[in-house]
Amino acid sequence: MAAVQGGLVDAVEEKEIKSEPPNDGSGNSNANDGRLLSPSPSSSASAGSNKSAAGAPEDQQTLLAVLQFLRKNKLTESVEILRREAGLPEDSPDSKGSESSGAGSGAAAGSADSEGGDVSSLLSRVTGSLSSAAPQAPVKASGEDQPDVNVVLSAYSQQGDPALYGVYYSGLKRFIESVLDCHRAELSQVFYPLFVHMYLELVYNNHENEAKVFFEKFSGDQECYYEDDLRVLSGLTKKEHMRANETLLDFRTSKFVLRISRDSYQLLKRHLQERQNNQIWNIIQEHLYIDIFDGMPRSKSQIDAMSGSLAGEAKREANKAKVYYGLLKEPEIELPLDDEDEEAENEEGKPKKKKPKKDSMGSKSKKQDPNAPSQTRIPLPELKDSDKLDKIMYMKEATKKIRLGPDNLPSICFYSFLNAYQGLTAVDFTDDSSLIAGGFADSTVRVWSLTPKKLRKVKSAADLNLIDKESDDVLERIMDEKTASESKILYGHSGPVYGISFSPDRNYLLSSSEDGTIRLWSLLTFTCLVGYKGHNYPVWDTHFSPHGYYFVSGGHDRVARLWATDHYQPLRIFSGHLADVTCTRFHPNSNYVATGSSDRTIRLWDVLTGNCVRIFTGHKGPIHALAFSPNGKFLASGATDGRVLLWDIGHGIMIGELKGHTDTIYSLKFSRDGEILASGSMDNTVRLWDATKAFDDLETDDFTAATGHIHLQDNSQELLLGSYMTKSTPVIHLHFSRRNLLLAAGAYNP
Amino acid sequence: MTDREERRFAEVSRDSVKLMAESAGVELGDDVAALLAEDVCYRLREAAQSSSQFMRHAKRRKLTVEDFNRALRWSNVEAICGYGAQDALPFRSVKEGELFFVEDRDINLVELALATNIPKGCAETMVRVNVSYLDGKGNLEPQGTVPSAVQTLSDDLLKYYQQITRAILGEDPHLMKVALLDLQSNSKIAALLPYFVYVISGVKSVSHDLEQLNRLLHMVKSLVQNPYLYLGSYVRSLVSSVMYCILEPLAASINPLNDHWTLRDYAALLLSHIFWTHGDLVSGLYHQILLSLQKVLSDPVRPLCSHYGAVVGLHALGWKAVERVLFPHLPAYWANLQAVLDDYSVSNGQVKADGHKVYGAILVAVERLLKMKALSLSQPAEGGAGGQPGSVGGGLGYRVSSPGLSPPPEPLSEAALGIASHLQAGGAGCPWEEWTPVPLPDMYKELYSFFGDSLAVRFSTGPGFGCYPPCTPSLPNEARKEPPGPASNPETTRKMPQLTANLNISPRQDGSPRTDPPPPSLAATGRSLARSSSSSSSSSMQRSRSSSSRSGQRSAGLSRDVFPKSRFTSPQTGPPVFSFLIGGRQMGRRCQGRRPFQTTFLPTPPLSAVPPRAYAHKLPVIGRVGKPVRRWACSHYSLYLPL
């Protein structure tokens, strides 16, 4: 890391990080625009020009709303820039702005205009945009800009007879129940978003009693996995409350995405047109994004597997981008030491010939993995001598690695935190299993040595001057023997520490806390080096890149941020989640970052471009654990629903579901060779799953890959290799040692 | 779907809002109050929703006040202070006004800040490793157990533990006394609590040995009385051990020569003591105890000694418990007892003697029930001797505490009728809801139909209980004290010679206003205590934990203690006297012509007569390596694992 802090930094900045870090968390309106809106802004800008006639006014409407917001906040410069770029005439916004000043009534009128228009033209708009296959980003998704709340909500101001809502809804319900079985499951997807939006419309228009009746009548019909959202919804009965409720704003600003086959969609469309059911049709147009595909309608189980997120499924286009999931080539280490190790390896490795062979195949082959990103796609720190030494150690250890499999399960060691009355909130191990760190609810971070080697601080500057810098054991001499102890406590945060992560070289430790900061600690001096501020809200998780230098963090502000240790501001802001980012993980090749969120989706972000390249839906609860397989091809995720889902990153599809846990999964880890997946949960068990089998059984034909329709077999029981009870201790972290011994950690609290 | 099911969240009523506004000096219209109430509900739900996120990220299952305050802080609302304590909040109500409130005591900050009884010796946060599963199968220890080293003990503590347990369970009575005394005053043994509780839970393995049971019960008493210990959830474990001694047909009771009755009496007293001093640590404890006592009582298969235990247990918990559980059960139970008592066959002799024990115990219990009930009716106003609010209330207690928090948090200030409050507790999950008190005359009539003239109820003998504890502490006991001979009692002389059983408890002269007459105080632990640790009573005076000024405050009935632990004081003077005498002749309507009989208890053999303990060897040995397994042997004690 020290190497990076030298001249490389400039190169980093100039070459790759094109967009400079944003000025501040608050002043993001302008600077972030380009980067924030994942893939949509660029495409929407280009799509905006060739939009159909019906789309244009709405687009303009949004721009006006943004302008209004900017003007309100006295950001005249930004107003000018935006106006120039959007090509809006000087006077028109003014007049329109004044017109719409009355609580967004202008905007409402505008949208009402467009909706009042011919239904068929609206239809053509939807179908047109779909057939052109250009991702016509939902325009209102610019919600990340914090648009005027009134404008966002005003779309609900369309008036219908409140008493008829129930009639409309039950009419549609009757229709969908009467269609053929194969279509029913697909069309049933419409129920939930429709229900929510109709309810919100009622609430927004102050029909409190009708809303309550409507809710009571139909909330029971919704899928059970929406229960949590419905509970939030049931509490909301006043228009005033809608303004501040972020969950609902998200629901409103992002279109709920449904995937429906063309046949089913035609059925629905015909029905609604026949019945002149404009109320429902308007909602579908306004708030739903229907992703139409050709082919067989999906079955109920197929749909259920993918649904459950806050904003419906991912659009197919969202998972089409190419992801370089391959591993980077391991640097070749040519050190005199290497030969000795080679010999040692050979001596000890003889009984098991396979491993050294595999090593040479894996890391020493000159061939570049076709799926791997180029070595310099993102700049990585140069290896220091100590890193090389560590690599050698790693390779030596790897030769002694136990080959795991269904017949050869790992031994499990449990690290119990005793007397942790203050509350253990996060745990991490170093890669070589020599240190363990715990984050606690009392704002402290504690580090323990797991080897007989005690933790020592570096001597003070005055003492360091006295030592002989030429001596061979200078690294030993700089340590202050008087400070040796089994554990060290790091004070600095002012709130519970929710995430911690060791740097790969074991010199640094990151901790993220409720106080809104991430702190970088030196494990040489056991002091805080940097406090990274930017989230301004609780930071739920942080994770070091496997190559060091970079790290990612995610928090309550619903964005994930990419940082470099030597920059006090983030290099990238990954924005798109509709709720808190609850966990963050780096891909083994450091080119991608995965984030899990309470909106029940997982997103994969490209570190280079800042774009969201994958959206995985299917979890029914907030996601609290993520793990990449060591080969970088797969991702495992665990959530409060107690299920582990497996994802194929390359194809962007779900490939497995592991059921068994009965409580939140807080930890997931693949064994060193990826044969076993271990999951740890609040239900006091560690479970081992046969990852090899789960991935091998996969038949990803072209159709599945193209449509994203998955057929999951319910084979959790076959894949479950073992379930191991702890001693009344929830498992909050798992780690495989370099020899494939499974280490688990948790706090025992009677 | 009913309305009740649908409502899954707390609601604040319009009236509550109005009341709050009133207390702040604002008049609110109905519509404004309704709007505000609705908004408050919504905000409450919103805050609860976001606070659950903090809980999830702290990897807990329990939502804490701190989580809620964090949620408030992040939504720019001032946090609510003063609710961070681990202890349950006493939620009180005034029955008449249908007013519920959380008790908000004044806390003397000076006293709090200068308090010296801060528990020491709490172990440090640490990481310990053990190999749970070898190769994914060889589980070295049974699944799902508790970590073996919950606390890691220093050598000193370890030595202390070994010495103390050895002394208490050993043969030297003097050593035992010293050990018990230390156990009850040592401020540095917090870390050892789990071990002691574990030792005590060994009652089940020594049920053949009365002496050991007795010693273990004394250990319970010492732990409970130690003001520095926070028993927390261990109360449950202690209670279950004590209940075992009260209720189980102990192996020792097979031999009629064994005086297991005294053990049960002592355990019952101990139970009531734990309940009164630490009952607030475990919510719903009172109802759990009552339920299990009731279960035993209503189980005819159980031996009579178990029934006896249930009766004395109820008696010890106070007259309200008797009224609630024993009295309704009496008709059903009476038939069984009657059958036993009416069987004159020789083979039944022993069982019959046991039956008389139960009879006597029931009689004592119902007698006090009648007495206390009459008293509560006749002198309701004076009942609130400690200046309790609501002394205008009816005869059935003034305060209804919420069901989960039945035990009053500070028995010190509990009025004579305070115990009633627990029994009136009704509400969700409470099985006692349908209970309605039986009026006194009916009760008397019914009881009379069972006991006939043996029911010696000495109404209004004393100068009255109204001015009990704080004013004239010795009076009530005086009033209840009975000379052993029936002739000297004016009431009893009126009647036929009869079976009387009398729990006679020496007066407590310290003026401790701790409690009402019903639950016999552990301070007078009775003969069993006098027998096995005769010096403990006098030594308890020397306990250093309570300063004289504090106990002075207590007797004034005004101060409320901040530390629940240091709540219990029962310094006493003079040796406690406990006698249990059953004598006379049954002349009840239903049991005419019964032979006169008299039972007196033999003094238990002196300690030295007891054979050496086998139990001492069964003690959990701390520091022993569980099972030396290959090279992992030392893994419990070192973090080092050869990975």
In tens, the pLDDT along A707-719 reads 666 777 778 888 8
pLDDT (tens digit per residue) in A111-144: 434 333 343 433 333 333 333 333 333 333 333 4
Whole-angstrom Cα distance, residue B628 to residue B35?
69
> Which residues is A480 bridged to in the sheet?
A457
A 544-573 residues with CB < 8 A to B: 556
pLDDT of residue A11: 40
pLDDT of residue A152: 56
Which residue would you say has higher pLDDT here, A16 or B356?
B356
Q: Are residues B73 and B198 in the same domain?
A: no
Q: Are residues B334 and B458 in the same domain?
A: yes
User: How many helical (H) and strand (E) elements, i.e. helices and strands, does chain B have?
Assistant: 24, 6
pTM over 0.90: no
Q: Are residues B324 and B442 in the same domain?
A: yes
Whole-angstrom Cα distance, residue B50 to residue A579?
12
pLDDT of residue B210: 82
Low-confidence ranges of chain B (pLDDT < 70): 1-9, 86-88, 116-123, 134-153, 281, 283, 379-437, 453, 455-643
CB contacts of A671 in chain B (<8 Å) are none
pLDDT of residue A31: 37
A451 interface with B at CB cutoff 8 Å: yes
pLDDT of residue B526: 38
| Nearest residue in B to A436, CA atom | B127
The three state secondary structure string of A93-111 is: HHHHHHHCCCCCHHHHHHH
Quote the tokens at residue A198.
């109709």
What is the number of alpha carbons within 13 Å of residue A156 lying toward its C-beta?
26
Inter-chain touch A418–B125, beta carbons under 8 Å = yes
User: Looking at the partner chain, which of B58, B123, B126 has a beta carbon nearest the beta carbon of A441?
Assistant: B58
| Among A70, A89, A85, CA closest to A28 | A70
pLDDT (tens digit per residue) in A244-260: 777 677 777 778 888 88
In a domain, B485, yes or no: yes
Best of B42, B55, B133, B635 to mutate (most A CBs within 10 Å, chain A): B133
| Nearest residue in B to A404, CA atom | B135
Quote the tokens at residue B190.
């917090």
Domain count, chain B: 2
Look at A35-44, A338-347, B132-141, B432-441 and tell me which has the smallest mean pLDDT. A35-44
In a domain, B94, yes or no: no
pLDDT of residue B117: 63
pLDDT of residue A606: 94
pLDDT (tens digit per residue) in A621-637: 999 999 999 999 999 99
Q: Are residues B370 and B487 in the same domain?
A: yes
In a domain, B526, yes or no: yes
By DSSP bridging, strand A653-658 and strand A479-485 are: unpaired
pLDDT of residue A149: 55
Q: Could you give the dihedral angle defined by the CA atoms of residues A93, A95, A99 and A103, in that order, rounded to the nearest 10 degrees?
A: 40
Q: What is the CATH number of the domain that holds B359?
A: 1.25.40.770
Which three-class secondary structure state does DSSP give residue B411? helix
Q: Are residues B55 and B159 in the same domain?
A: no
Look at A18-22, A150-154, A263-267 and tell me which has the smallest mean pLDDT. A18-22
Whether residue A603 contacts residue A594, with contact meaning beta carbons closer than 8 Å, is answered with yes
Counting residues of chain A whose pLDDT is more than 70, the rounded percentage is 75
User: Looking at the partner chain, which of B46, B49, B70 has a beta carbon nearest the beta carbon of A514?
Assistant: B70
Look at A177-181, A201-205, A710-714, B480-484 and tell me which has the smallest mean pLDDT. B480-484
Whole-angstrom Cα distance, residue A4 to residue A547?
11
CATH code assigned to A160-320: 1.25.40.500
Report the b/e string of B416-429 with b at 16+ CB within 10 A.
bbbbbbbbbbeeee
Which range of residues forms the domain containing residue B50? Answer: 8-84
Q: Is A701 exposed, middle or buried (0-12, 13-18, 19+ CB in 10 A)?
A: exposed
Confidence check: pLDDT of A584 > 90: yes
Confidence check: pLDDT of A508 > 50: yes
In a domain, B638, yes or no: no
Q: How far is A452 from chain B (nearest CA, A)?
A: 6
Provide Rg for chain B, Cα atoms: 27
Please state, as a whole number, how many other Cβ atoms lie within 10 Å of the Cβ of residue A552: 28
Whole-angstrom Cα distance, residue A468 to residue A473?
9
Q: Where in chain A is the domain with CATH 1.25.40.500?
A: 160-320
Taking every pair of Cα atoms in chain A, the longest distance, rounded to a whole number of angstroms, is 91
User: How many helical (H) and strand (E) elements, i.e. helices and strands, does chain A have?
Assistant: 28, 31
Which residue would you say has higher pLDDT here, A229 or B632?
A229
DSSP H helices, B281-348, are 285-297, 304-317, 319-321, 327-341
Which residue would you say has higher pLDDT here, A694 or A39?
A694
Q: What is the mean pLDDT of residues A47-58?
A: 43
Best of B57, B62, B66, B141 to mutate (most A CBs within 10 Å, chain A): B57
Which three-class secondary structure state does DSSP give residue A630? coil
User: Looking at the partner chain, which of B59, B124, B233 has a beta carbon nearest the beta carbon of A419?
Assistant: B124
B145 interface with A at CB cutoff 8 Å: yes
pLDDT (tens digit per residue) in A640-693: 989 999 999 988 888 889 999 999 999 999 999 999 999 999 999 999 999 988
A 637-666 residues with CB < 8 A to B: 640, 664, 666
By DSSP bridging, strand B500-505 and strand A527-533 are: unpaired
CB contacts of A424 in chain B (<8 Å) are 59
Confidence check: pLDDT of A13 > 70: no
Which residue would you say has higher pLDDT here, B456 or A414?
A414
Whole-angstrom Cα distance, residue A475 to residue A465?
14
| Nearest residue in B to A415, CA atom | B129
Which residue would you say has higher pLDDT here, B504 or A299?
A299
Q: Are residues B562 and B414 in the same domain?
A: yes
Whole-angstrom Cα distance, residue B90 to residue A667?
38
By DSSP bridging, strand A601-606 and strand A592-597 are: antiparallel
Quote the tokens at residue B582.
């059953």
* Strand ranges in B291-376 using DSSP code E only, listed in sequence order: none
Q: How far is B129 from chain A (nearest CA, A)?
A: 4
> Which residues is A648 bridged to in the sheet?
A634, A653
Q: What are phi and psi of A496, to 5 degrees?
A: -50, 140
B39 interface with A at CB cutoff 8 Å: yes
Whole-angstrom Cα distance, residue B361 to residue B367?
10
Quote the tokens at residue B576.
């406690």
What is the number of alpha carbons within 13 Å of residue B435 lying toward its C-beta?
21
Q: Are residues B179 and B43 in the same domain?
A: no
B154 interface with A at CB cutoff 8 Å: no
Which residue would you say has higher pLDDT here, A43 or B345?
B345
Q: What is the mean pLDDT of residues A479-503?
A: 92
Which residue would you say has higher pLDDT here, B185 or A97?
B185
Whole-angstrom Cα distance, residue A279 to residue A160?
7
Q: Are residues B332 and B433 in the same domain?
A: yes
CB contacts of B42 in chain A (<8 Å) are 235-238, 241
Complex ipTM tops 0.85: no
A-B contacts (CB, under 8 Å) = 175
Please state, as a whole number, how many other Cβ atoms lie within 10 Å of the Cβ of residue A558: 21
In a domain, B107, yes or no: no
Whole-angstrom Cα distance, residue A621 to residue A235?
20
pLDDT of residue A552: 95
Whether residue A657 contacts residue A646, with contact meaning beta carbons closer than 8 Å, is answered with yes
Inter-chain touch B132–A724, beta carbons under 8 Å = yes
pLDDT of residue B572: 40
Sequence-ordered list of residues with C-beta below 8 angstroms from that of A296, at least 6 positions apart, any chain: A182, A261
B 19-38 residues with CB < 8 A to A: 38
pLDDT of residue A686: 92
Inter-chain touch A418–B122, beta carbons under 8 Å = no
A 195-224 residues with CB < 8 A to B: 216, 220
| Nearest residue in B to A639, CA atom | B56
Cα B182 to Cα A116, B202, B220, B620: the distances in Å are 87, 21, 13, 21
Q: How far is A610 from chain B (nearest CA, A)?
A: 26
Confidence check: pLDDT of A446 > 90: yes
A237 interface with B at CB cutoff 8 Å: yes
Cα B401 to Cα A97, A708, A745, B276, B404: the distances in Å are 61, 59, 42, 15, 8
Inter-chain touch B42–A725, beta carbons under 8 Å = no
